[in-house]
Structure 1
Amino acid sequence: MASTPIEDPEDILCGSLQSLYNYEPITLTSAGAAFVYKTSFGPTIYLQTPDTEASNWALHASSIWNSSRFIADHIDSIPIPHEHARILELGAGAGLPGITLALRRPDAEVVVSDYPDAKLIQTLTENVERNVPQGNARAAAYGWGTDTKVALGQRKFDVVVAADTLWNSEFHALLVRTLDMVLEDAGKVYLVAGLHTGRYTLDAFFKAVTKAGFAVESADEMRVDGGETRKWDATRPGADDDRERRRWVVWVVLKRSSILP
């Protein structure tokens, strides 16, 4: 599985940190950069990194995050429960995980969504249309916590995926509300999050989502380079070591707590 960003100065800086100081990058591209990803099952995905209106820069949607590539690299670790399943990506940015799922499961209906910023959604739409010619995926402008029916459709989703959407605790309540609105009763949520804003930010999300009626089915810390997997621990030593934090992502699976194992 290969991925190739077209380098600009910001990308070169990220690469220098990795090569000189053994720092894993958090993001792989910057706004406007092209990115090429070779899937493990055949197709090559060609993406443009979105930009946003200046008023929405705080969304940090103008990058392809390392966690989104991690999902794409491990796409077969996301079980799709049946044919014609509905799959939703939240906070999609360039849309790499959702597009990869659409190509992997052409029988599924995939909605790749992000905040309703005109520039962001235009690029996301172009990425989906360029890479999913069979037409089983579409881009959608959706703001977390708002009514889902117009943007996402009447039916709920069997699978929800999101990459690096937990870094800001101010958005946790909206994300939890959204998950509650969109997920089928027997559905599963697959989240991959970096540790760049600390373990306690993720722990705060776990507390919020369990309070809202979800169960954390699993939470595993996985080395970005694939070298090791260990159970999530909010109090693990070395939490302030930025170099060490960059080497890991947390793979989280959620379900409704009312659903038996």
Structure 2
Amino acid sequence: MLKQFAVGICALLGAATVSAQETSTEDKIIKALSEARPDFEFTDVRPSPIDGLYQARVVGGPVLYVTPEADLMIAGEIFAVEKGGFARYEDPAMIEQRKQLAASLDEKDSIAFAPEGETKAVVYVFTDVDCGFCRRLHSQLNEYQDGGSTKPGYNDLGIEIRYLAYPRAGVGSPSAQKLETAWCAEDQQETLDRLKNLQSVETKSCENNPVAEHYRLGGEFGVSGTPALVLPNGKMQAGYVPPEQLAEILGI
């Protein structure tokens, strides 16, 4: 009897151990976040650069820093404290993931604006035609006036801009329809020019347009707003960057 009782206790302890192993901290965090906000998709849960916290990414949103108990979290960015000031910290794993994703992109799926001369760098830009800073970036593809002086644009500096669609209001929104119109047009560049210059364009639709796929892809890249610039080294620059500053960042 005692022997059978001992065997039973060991079996229960073994089952408890297996159960504990099956419910990892990462699983616990995903479960808690998903129960709190079932309308969000959470992914990439792993230990964060800050000891004691885990990080989880909201697809199409920010990175969250969560306690192991999944009862508290911080939403925002991490900054490295350096001698010259504060610098935005980027997760090396995310940078590598972006490099691999960017390498898998097909240029034909983008709307590209290339330099007439040598292309020194290619930058993918997630864009929305109803975004003011996106329109500002587009207006500076070639030389432009700034404060009474003429400055070189992105193409003038050897930077090729390849646009990807990212309707901030989501797939099915009026912004998404405008982007679909550009990608379905016979002359994609001219149509995107007109849309970004707030000119009227006849609405078009077509099968296999990439807007929904680009929007999903933006979530994988960690895009949460536009413009979002994916650099050749896998880093992402959130927001508008003037041409000469971007050239400096790219080292060209």
TM superposition score category, shorter chain reference: under 0.3
State the structure with bigger RCO (CA 8 A, min sep 6), 1 or 2: 2
Could you say which structure has the higher strand fraction?
A: 1
Return the TM-score normalized by structure 2: 0.26
Rg comparison, structure with higher value: 2
TM-score of the superposed pair, with normalisation by structure 1: 0.26
Q: Give the structure with the larger helix fraction.
A: 2
